[in-house]
A and B are shown apart, each in its own frame.
Chain A
């Protein structure tokens, strides 16, 4: 009896415990969820589901290139390292001073290739993930995918082309990095192999490229279409041809240039006042400046990164050329060199300086009025130019454009660049001074030059064949015309490097500099003519600067020390590898 009682009370106790356990279970169930997702972000698991996801990642790749950390570097690498730009006396930026003094440290901020790899990785991510979206979202068609893919392949190739031109030996990765566990340390490849990969990608991209006529608004210039892809191809072939002294590559360059020119011509819409169809769809000199840099997205433009000043601002151009830190800044970090002054070394045509060139007045401010007077007007002024004799109208004054919301596109390729590439390639392909290709090249240059000459002076001031009828003088003319036409547009240093490479022999683009150093090979000495051109910008110490740039490795930037620290398989450019033999006491 007692036993039964005990048992029942035991059972009762257990029953009493049930609600408690219930309580406990509920408590557990409610909170077992340890997966927490952020409120303001989308996680990967929920992304890559729709067409708009892909589209915003594609534009995201372009957007990552808008970053001033990218454009600032492009400007310094191309224009500031060349004879175009010099630092202002105040404010000074150590990194710029180092470059100007040809004393680049491995900690120099402009040796950071990271921002370009960030763009590359964004392209890689789209290339890796977009394809699968076709299976999820039926509205994302194969056609959509292929044009997206084409843009990403081309953008990636463009970035690698910049890297090769500025670092020579760079790591190549087409892998989309998403996880921290992935293998990250990759060695540098030879520039030749990287360029070959770029060309393959671009040719692949060309097949399914965006049609240049697909859009009529900014998208016809702001997205990489077939014209843009061919422009990059032409540029790479021209570059490789100059290094390898290869006629086939020059021919390739010319053929791509022709395709672009044809495409531009075919898509040209005749303007009401255009009575005779022009040979090339280029704006006339006084309009050119407005169309290209003020209105922007000009007809003759091929690819330019879009800044609208609302969601983004072109801080790189603004800070370097216009206002370095705030609205009250009176100068940028850089100004034009004296080449653009009244001596007008670069505007000498037919052995005579001519002030009827619009560009002479449009590019810089107040020619020769004081030490800091050569600040750049191109891409910073928003004043529409008036017509009339530029020589009487003089240069633009500095107009007050706001520091922030700097809606200034950054132009990568435009038609006159392509035409001059073609002229450069044809000049090189000319067998001798009699070659008809020289005359053809001259005509292209003359067309570009003439459109910027004040019309009434055209007969007296346009280029005369008699002054440029040799291969050598023609090469110089093209180089000079490129400087006049494309100054501050990120071209000059590469023009000079091509000029140099054409004049030297023994360049081995299939091995890295570090390998060459290990094998004990002598580095190729740079061409003195080219160095003399570069050092024109120095008022003093030019020769010292030239002697510091004596061999090929010096043409390139060092690998940032931070990169060397974190990636043991990287090799420093031999020009910058420091002597670590000293022992430290700590």
Chain B
């Protein structure tokens, strides 16, 4: 209903503008000093300066036209002459003389460029909040799928980490640290003043950061004019409850007045994967596995039945298991991206337009990845008169992302390299059929490769991974999204239009955001030799979701006119509302008939679910900006947010922001410095922003009245149940921040420096599903306010434009630094206990997830690794027996050995001496002596974990802090060299001081399972005395676990890096020359992306983000690819 009402009121509003009029004919001549003027425009305009009727003069300067009202004005314009305005009155013929316009050709110098801040357009030098604008011209010709990639390393304090090298996987962005422990910590994306959020309601931000729908995919980079990042709370306060993580404001290009121009650009990008770990080949792999299987039991027969490792030519599958397959190479490819963009822009005084269309076709650097994107945007501004302007911005994006069904690179790294991709003939030649392992044998060994068509039980993990090439080709996952974001806006000057009048501007806008997504997947039976009753037999799923969002905005901007020119004031009042509806459904069908790839067929329904949700929000905003002499500037804003998720007590939240700026440079005492100092300003701001929980209906006790039936037969009784506690005391998560900064400009702003220091205090942190005493009848509440934390930091941004200029040669440079310290100030003990994982003796490779008051999020805890035991315990015992050492001599000898740096699995005291047992033996070091079942005695070749408390056992008490996942310093720098029409741009991004858990390496060097390993394991410990950092190979079956890959410092690596993001060479053709070819503009670009990475990190790429509470873990995601781009930009 509400939609209809709005549309109706728009129509009414439009109709009321029409004014009753009566027509009359007039005529006349137009002359100027040169004589009669031909083709002069004669227009009749009403009081609002709206054109009511128009005519043009003929060859003799005569015109005649019908006028609507004698009260209107007659306006005569001609290029080169001054515009003349007359009142019509009762006159019927006019003799009009135009004066020559002397000013037309003088150069117009625009001083004090205005920029948007808090909804107001204010001079750049009066901006009192902290924001940084990035002009997309700087990366013209480079290839980015989404805008955030372009921002990496450009904005001080904005930490951007790409999620993976898979197509369309998006980035994780953190502005000035993390202020939330739950939900989305990415900054708010705003496109043309409209919130552009992730419409995927079901996405859990706290626990994942890959595979989400990258919202920015829906904005074509080519359509973006500039990006402004709002950093401090005074700047983001007008976004209130949405701006808590900072705001990235994207402004799209609009039409410009002038001749219609057509711009066409084409980009070709070639991508390839960086070099990863060197893995074992088939021969080394089987060698290692045999050792691995032999070590635990030391029985000669331990691998006799594992035909896959035995190179046994008599076995039927032999040819498929005698290879050296480079699986990683097999899943990689040279990816190509073709990007076509075209736009049309132009317009006259009345209307300006820009129409753009873009088509990207991209293939991944991993096989079978394909991304298609079609986007179009239409921007139209129509000035009905000086007072009224209508605008519309209509954008549509289609994204079709063909993804891999599962992570191919991960499988390729782990799968047996002696296996073949295709089934092989007896002569070793490939057939055209993918090789799929036989059904798994059984634990008892009665079903093994030699007793029938089975694969070894021991190799079941390898079988479980599946053939990655077959998966790539036969299984699929297709992510398709459509997003349409139209808006319609009207602007109406209610009072004066000139600079010397009071101005009151009304803005109204309605916008829509329509989104639909479907993700069908298919996993055919052919990928596994399972029987048809298996749950994974021909599985097809489909996920559909869509959302309709509508927003409305009305605002009044008041700019009073003061006779005293020193004072300038602007203020804005705005009301906004938004309503959104979304729904979706999932369906999983398995055991489909062969050849059917859609879940629409009624097969075995495995799972089906659907959801729908609605939300409403509204807010009021008031902002004001005042300046005195352009020197003392103050800004104020207040936003009131109403949200249905809170109870009446806390439904409305108020987010104020105050900012000040003092342009000290304008003081008279600074005059003497003006020769070199062009700007010196101090800024201070304070503000509050907030955050609401993601879930709906929290303030209701809801009764599920269809929970089921109780009873038997046809007298069963319906059942109702209460869903959970009503959250009547939930509060908004609020972040108060203080920002102090200064701006300097040198040499007429050639060099600009700005520095900001900030302190952010977040209280009432929202946490999802917080445990409560179950004596209440519930185990948790959906949300609770649980604690507070702070973020302190500073950032500096230096830009030097053409700071070296010698003839045609010029250099520009930019550099930025940012540091952020996060600290948890207080936290509900319930949450700490629930979130903090406890050490479990049976888990492997896990790092404790701990959040501690006084520490930062993302801290890593684990054992401290000390290498590998050189000698076994038995070595000591044998030595003692052989030499018949007395206990005292034995102890002495052992300590001697220890002093010599040899390592044994024995307990060592704080003094570095062996701890001896009462019967004169050194105390054997044990793992977790307490908890019975998982106790283990360390052996030679095992990984050494430091026994921190020297109690002779490795357990929870030996866990120490190993570092933090958050970078200490991050930012970027760039240099641009220009010579005439040539330019060379370089862009770098860096992060320092962050630790990354290299889980990829952990699984590639664990030597306890059957997955392939890196070539480094060839240096593993094999016998007493070996000095190596690589422990022995020891196979560990199922329930019992290995001891050599505990979460320890061995896998915690420094993730610092400097990345040479882009190197671009551009040539801009001389306009005069290309005029001959009918072109206005012609540019050629050649760039290389991700050219070089300086890092000590042993994995492929240390650019790993953290999600929520967790630590940064490199779990062998597809690393960011390397690429080059060639592009051409033509303008007609």
A interface residues, Cβ below 8 angstroms from B: 9, 12-14, 16-20, 22-24, 26-28, 30-45, 47, 52-53, 55-57, 59-60, 62-64, 66, 103, 112-114, 117-122, 124-125, 170-171, 173, 177-182, 184-186, 217-219, 222, 296-297, 306, 308, 310-312, 407, 562-563, 565-568, 570, 582-586
Output the nearest chain B residue to A173 by Cβ-Cβ distance: B775
**Contact between A565 and B710 (Cβ–Cβ < 8 Å)?**
no
A280 and B726 CA atoms in complex are apart in Å by 51
**Contact between B722 and A125 (Cβ–Cβ < 8 Å)?**
yes
The one of B709, B772, B781, B830 in contact with A308, judged by C-beta atoms closer than 8 angstroms, is B709
A sample of 16 cross-chain residue pairs with beta-carbon separation below 8 angstroms, ordered by A number, consists of A19-B13, A28-B577, A31-B618, A32-B577, A35-B644, A39-B614, A44-B702, A44-B726, A62-B710, A117-B777, A178-B722, A180-B727, A181-B729, A311-B716, A312-B708, A586-B961
Which segment of B77-85, B138-146, B693-701, B1021-1029 sits at the interface? B693-701
In the complex, the 5 A-B pairs of residues with the closest C-beta atoms, listed nearest first? A121-B777, A114-B774, A565-B833, A30-B2, A44-B701
The one of A24, A38, A563 in contact with B508, judged by C-beta atoms closer than 8 angstroms, is A24
Output the nearest chain A residue to B958 by Cβ-Cβ distance: A585
**Contact between A180 and B726 (Cβ–Cβ < 8 Å)?**
yes
A39 and B643 CA atoms in complex are apart in Å by 18
B742-774 residues with Cβ-Cβ distance < 8 A to A are: 771-774
**Contact between B2 and A31 (Cβ–Cβ < 8 Å)?**
yes
Q: How far is the CB of A234 from chain B (nearest CB, A)?
A: 25
Q: How far is the CB of A84 from chain B (nearest CB, A)?
A: 25
Q: Does B850 contact A (CB under 8 A)?
A: yes
**Contact between A118 and B2 (Cβ–Cβ < 8 Å)?**
no
Which segment of B3-11, B184-192, B1115-1123 sits at the interface? B3-11
**Contact between B644 and A36 (Cβ–Cβ < 8 Å)?**
yes
**Contact between A37 and B697 (Cβ–Cβ < 8 Å)?**
yes
| Given A28-B577, A44-B701, A585-B957, A23-B725 contact (CB < 8 Å) | no
| Given A22-B12, A114-B779, A185-B773, A122-B616 contact (CB < 8 Å) | no
**Contact between B552 and A17 (Cβ–Cβ < 8 Å)?**
no
**Contact between B700 and A306 (Cβ–Cβ < 8 Å)?**
no
**Contact between A55 and B717 (Cβ–Cβ < 8 Å)?**
yes
Q: Which residues of A contact B704 (CB under 8 A)?
A: 41
Q: Which residues of B contact A64 (CB under 8 A)?
A: 721
A504 and B834 CA atoms in complex are apart in Å by 40
The one of B643, B651, B709 in contact with A311, judged by C-beta atoms closer than 8 angstroms, is B709
**Contact between A19 and B12 (Cβ–Cβ < 8 Å)?**
yes
B interface residues, Cβ below 8 angstroms from A: 1-2, 5-6, 8-10, 12-13, 16-17, 47-48, 492, 494-495, 506, 508, 552, 554, 575, 577, 579, 612, 614-618, 642-644, 651, 696-697, 700-713, 715-723, 725-730, 771-779, 781, 784, 829-830, 833-834, 848, 850, 852, 861, 932, 948-949, 956-961
Q: How far is the CB of A298 from chain B (nearest CB, A)?
A: 13
**Contact between A23 and B10 (Cβ–Cβ < 8 Å)?**
yes
A33 and B579 CA atoms in complex are apart in Å by 10
The one of B706, B708, B717, B728 in contact with A181, judged by C-beta atoms closer than 8 angstroms, is B728
Output the nearest chain A residue to B578 by Cβ-Cβ distance: A31
| Given A217-B715, A566-B771, A566-B830, A585-B948 contact (CB < 8 Å) | yes
Q: Which residues of A contact B960 (CB under 8 A)?
A: 585-586
Q: How far is the CB of A248 from chain B (nearest CB, A)?
A: 31
**Contact between A120 and B777 (Cβ–Cβ < 8 Å)?**
yes
Q: How far is the CB of B1121 from chain A (nearest CB, A)?
A: 38
A42 and B721 CA atoms in complex are apart in Å by 10
Output the nearest chain B residue to A55 by Cβ-Cβ distance: B717
Q: Which residues of B contact A119 (CB under 8 A)?
A: 777
**Contact between A56 and B719 (Cβ–Cβ < 8 Å)?**
yes
The one of A9, A113, A186 in contact with B47, judged by C-beta atoms closer than 8 angstroms, is A9
**Contact between B775 and A27 (Cβ–Cβ < 8 Å)?**
no
Q: Which residues of A contact B708 (CB under 8 A)?
A: 63, 311-312
**Contact between B508 and A36 (Cβ–Cβ < 8 Å)?**
no
Q: Which residues of A contact B771 (CB under 8 A)?
A: 562, 565-566
Output the nearest chain B residue to A568 by Cβ-Cβ distance: B829
**Contact between A36 and B697 (Cβ–Cβ < 8 Å)?**
yes
**Contact between B616 and A33 (Cβ–Cβ < 8 Å)?**
yes
Q: Which residues of B contact A56 (CB under 8 A)?
A: 705, 717-720
**Contact between B9 and A308 (Cβ–Cβ < 8 Å)?**
no
**Contact between A177 and B697 (Cβ–Cβ < 8 Å)?**
no
**Contact between A20 and B776 (Cβ–Cβ < 8 Å)?**
no
Q: Which residues of B contact A24 (CB under 8 A)?
A: 508, 554, 575
**Contact between A103 and B932 (Cβ–Cβ < 8 Å)?**
yes
The one of B702, B711, B778, B833 in contact with A42, judged by C-beta atoms closer than 8 angstroms, is B702
Q: How far is the CB of B816 from chain A (nearest CB, A)?
A: 34
A412 and B451 CA atoms in complex are apart in Å by 52
**Contact between A184 and B508 (Cβ–Cβ < 8 Å)?**
no
Q: Which residues of B contact A45 (CB under 8 A)?
A: 700
| Given A38-B696, A43-B702, A63-B957 contact (CB < 8 Å) | no
**Contact between B575 and A122 (Cβ–Cβ < 8 Å)?**
no
Output the nearest chain A residue to B510 by Cβ-Cβ distance: A27
Output the nearest chain A residue to B577 by Cβ-Cβ distance: A31
Output the nearest chain B residue to A9 by Cβ-Cβ distance: B47
Q: How far is the CB of B327 from chain A (nearest CB, A)?
A: 34
Q: Which residues of A contact B552 (CB under 8 A)?
A: 27, 31
A22 and B723 CA atoms in complex are apart in Å by 43
Q: A40-B706, A113-B774, A217-B713 are in contact. List 18 more A-B contacts (CB 8 A).
A: A16-B17, A20-B506, A27-B6, A31-B577, A31-B579, A32-B618, A56-B720, A117-B776, A179-B726, A184-B773, A186-B775, A219-B711, A222-B710, A311-B716, A566-B773, A566-B834, A568-B829, A584-B959
Output the nearest chain B residue to A31 by Cβ-Cβ distance: B577
Q: Which residues of B contact A117 (CB under 8 A)?
A: 774-777
| Given A43-B701, A311-B709, A567-B773, A17-B719 contact (CB < 8 Å) | no
Q: Which residues of A contact B16 (CB under 8 A)?
A: 16, 18-19
Q: How far is the CB of A511 from chain B (nearest CB, A)?
A: 20
A181 and B731 CA atoms in complex are apart in Å by 11
The one of B492, B722, B956 in contact with A122, judged by C-beta atoms closer than 8 angstroms, is B722
**Contact between A222 and B712 (Cβ–Cβ < 8 Å)?**
yes
Output the nearest chain A residue to B48 by Cβ-Cβ distance: A16
Q: Which residues of B contact A112 (CB under 8 A)?
A: 774
Q: Which residues of B contact A118 (CB under 8 A)?
A: 774, 777-778
**Contact between A22 and B577 (Cβ–Cβ < 8 Å)?**
no
A296 and B712 CA atoms in complex are apart in Å by 10
Q: Which residues of B contact A124 (CB under 8 A)?
A: 777
A113 and B776 CA atoms in complex are apart in Å by 11
A37 and B713 CA atoms in complex are apart in Å by 34
Q: Which residues of A contact B833 (CB under 8 A)?
A: 562, 565-566
A583 and B951 CA atoms in complex are apart in Å by 12
A31 and B580 CA atoms in complex are apart in Å by 11
Q: How far is the CB of B7 from chain A (nearest CB, A)?
A: 10
**Contact between B575 and A171 (Cβ–Cβ < 8 Å)?**
no
Output the nearest chain A residue to B583 by Cβ-Cβ distance: A39
| Given A218-B711, A565-B829, A177-B9 contact (CB < 8 Å) | no
A124 and B777 CA atoms in complex are apart in Å by 10
Q: Which residues of A contact B703 (CB under 8 A)?
A: 41-44, 47, 57
Q: How far is the CB of A262 from chain B (nearest CB, A)?
A: 27
| Given A22-B13, A53-B720, A178-B701, A27-B554 contact (CB < 8 Å) | yes
A34 and B6 CA atoms in complex are apart in Å by 17
Q: Which residues of B contact A121 (CB under 8 A)?
A: 776-778
**Contact between A177 and B776 (Cβ–Cβ < 8 Å)?**
yes
A13 and B721 CA atoms in complex are apart in Å by 60
**Contact between B696 and A36 (Cβ–Cβ < 8 Å)?**
yes
Q: Which residues of B contact A170 (CB under 8 A)?
A: 775
Q: Which residues of A contact B961 (CB under 8 A)?
A: 585-586
A37 and B833 CA atoms in complex are apart in Å by 34
Output the nearest chain B residue to A107 by Cβ-Cβ distance: B838
Output the nearest chain B residue to A35 by Cβ-Cβ distance: B644
Q: How far is the CB of A51 from chain B (nearest CB, A)?
A: 12
A217 and B710 CA atoms in complex are apart in Å by 13
Q: Which residues of A contact B779 (CB under 8 A)?
A: 114
**Contact between A308 and B711 (Cβ–Cβ < 8 Å)?**
yes
Q: Which residues of A contact B713 (CB under 8 A)?
A: 217-218, 308
